[in-house]
């Protein structure tokens, strides 16, 4: 079994990053964690997380007040869920960040 772990910068300012950890064997993903984090107010904030904890792939929307909304994602296998997760974060990270910052202002 191989384990892959890395950070990937999403913005030129290096204030938005994707933290990735995955386990794979013979081309099949056995489990993963993707977490989008942003540097806001001098601190890293986790904003969106995709993972396979609890035995199923899901998306966690993390809120500034500590709440987490868990949303199951349905794919035939972890490889497809893995691909979806990385594409979603790469495409929508700016929207997720702005939503998170709006919630911070409302606290």
> Which residue range is the domain that position 18 belongs to?
2-106
- Residue 107: predicted pLDDT: 63
Q: Which residues of the chain have pLDDT under 50?
A: none
The DSSP line for 80-94 is HHHHHHHHHHHHHHH
Q: Residue 76: which residues within 8 A CB-CB, separation 6 or more?
A: none
Name 98's Cβ contacts closer than 8 Å, sequence gap at least 6.
none
pLDDT for residue 60: 97
Count structural domains, the chain. Answer: 1
């Amino acid at each position: 079994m191989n384990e892959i772990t890395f950070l990937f910068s999403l913005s030129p300012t290096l204030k938005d990053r994707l933290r990735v950890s995955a386990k794979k064997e013979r081309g099949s993903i056995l489990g993963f964690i993707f977490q989008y984090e942003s540097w806001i107010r001098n601190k890293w904030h986790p904003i969106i997380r995709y993972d396979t904890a609890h035995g199923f792939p899901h998306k966690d929307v993390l809120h500034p007040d500590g709440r987490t909304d868990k949303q199951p994602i349905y794919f035939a296998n972890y490889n497809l869920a893995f691909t979806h997760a990385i594409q979603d974060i790469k495409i929508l990270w700016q929207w997720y960040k702005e939503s998170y910052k709006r919630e911070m202002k409302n606290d």
